[in-house]
Amino acid sequence: MIVTPGHIRDIADLVTGRVIQHARLADVTTFKIGGPAELLIEPGAPEELRAALAYLREARIPVFILGSGSNVLFRDEGFPGAVIRLTGLRGFTIQSNGSDYAKVSAAAGEPLPALINRCAGDGLRGPEALWGIPASVGGAVVSNAGARGVWIGDLLSEITIVTPAAAEQRLARENFSCSYRSIDLPASAVVTAAGLRLVRDDPDAVEASMEAARKHRWETQPMGFPSAGCVFKNPAPDNPAGAIIDRLGFKGRSVGGARVSDAHANFIVNAGGASAGDVLALIEEIREAVRAAEGVDLELEIRIAPEGPAHA
Ligand code: EPU
């Protein structure tokens, strides 16, 4: 055990949100998989997050930052350290920027779907293609979430981070760059808020665009089972991982409770009682088959925590 009762008392003094020992990570992830975290901490405000980060750094306790838990697979052994869940950092504001644009500022723990719905209702065009991504704003930013050719990185005007030294820093758009499923930030930086520059449009046109995203998602992705979204990154825009895995006949293939979705082959679903071990074994099977058949090394899009070999 890394976390002692003394640590827990100290941290409980620093944050107003929940501090839970031996928290089941399956309860805070969309996969519904994962052993216990030694400690789960839910800061209620950015300054509480900074205080907790500074304390944990000093105490040399490993930290994992969690948003909505929609892009992560925690191992069955759990996380040996503190998982900091940012869902207590909520709220957003919409500020008109002339008649053509608006600036939307959102805290990292704000659910992306709520933000998208509100923007669409206000006739703000931009993020509606990301409809249905069950991420938090912070999670969407750090993975540069994208769908249907729209990337959240392209909409950002600024972000606020907590640096590894636990200081708050605002970064204007020219101070960071985004690429496919990633954003270049200092190692261990935590995104606490994001500013988006959105275009004013006719609310009906924005709603129609959101409806198209909704339709695509319902038609092509599994909606009923717990999952963590696409498991692998696309090796190239014209070579989607889902199409490769599908061609190799993996749809419906199961290991224990983990199954390759029948709707989209780049999704592994928890069909009931899946362990992280089941998912990791299926991931390894797919990778080996794709390597053998196509000579392509599929890279994970989901994060595995703690890190280490996919098959442990
Ligand atoms: N395809 C198949 N079989 C499948 C799945 C896909 O043949 O089982 C084919 C489709 O027919 C299509 C092509 O592959 O021709 C691309 O499929 P899709 O439009 O579903 O897009 P994708 O590249 O598989 C990406 C993102 C998704 C995002 C969609 C929607 C990645 C890894 N995935 O999927 O993001 O929702 O585009 O635009 O970039 C996620 O990040 O978790 C995620 C699901």
Contacts of 117 (CB under 8 A, 6+ apart): none
Q: How much is the pLDDT for 56?
A: 97
Q: What is the mean pLDDT of the chain?
A: 95
State percent of the chain over pLDDT 90: 93
Helix axes 46-58, 5-14, angle to 10 degrees: 150
Taking only the tens place, the pLDDT of each residue in 80-105 is 999 999 999 999 999 987 789 999 99
Give the closest residue (by CA) to ligand 1 atom 1: 243
Q: How far is the CA of 239 from the centre of ligand 1 (A)?
A: 10
Q: How much is the pLDDT for 234?
A: 97
Asked if the model's pLDDT at residue 46 lies above 90, the reply is yes
**∠ CA 107-24-228, rounded to 5°:** 60
Asked if the model's pLDDT at residue 39 lies above 70, the reply is yes
| Ligand 1 close to Cβ of residue 264 (< 6 A) | yes
| Ligand 1 atom with least separation from CA of 232 | 32
Give the closest residue (by CA) to ligand 1 atom 44: 230
Taking only the tens place, the pLDDT of each residue in 248-265 is 999 999 999 999 999 999
Q: How much is the pLDDT for 311?
A: 52
Q: How far is the CA of 220 from the centre of ligand 1 (A)?
A: 8
Q: How far is the CA of 221 from the centre of ligand 1 (A)?
A: 8
Mean pLDDT across 166-179:
95
Q: How far is the CA of 240 from the centre of ligand 1 (A)?
A: 6
Asked if the model's pLDDT at residue 312 lies above 80, the reply is no
Catalytic residues: 181, 230, 301
Q: How much is the pLDDT for 98?
A: 77
* pTM value surpassing 0.85: yes
| Ligand 1 close to Cβ of residue 136 (< 6 A) | no
Contacts of 173 (CB under 8 A, 6+ apart): 156, 157, 158
Taking only the tens place, the pLDDT of each residue in 232-250 is 999 999 999 999 999 999 9
What is the three-class DSSP state of 227?
A: strand
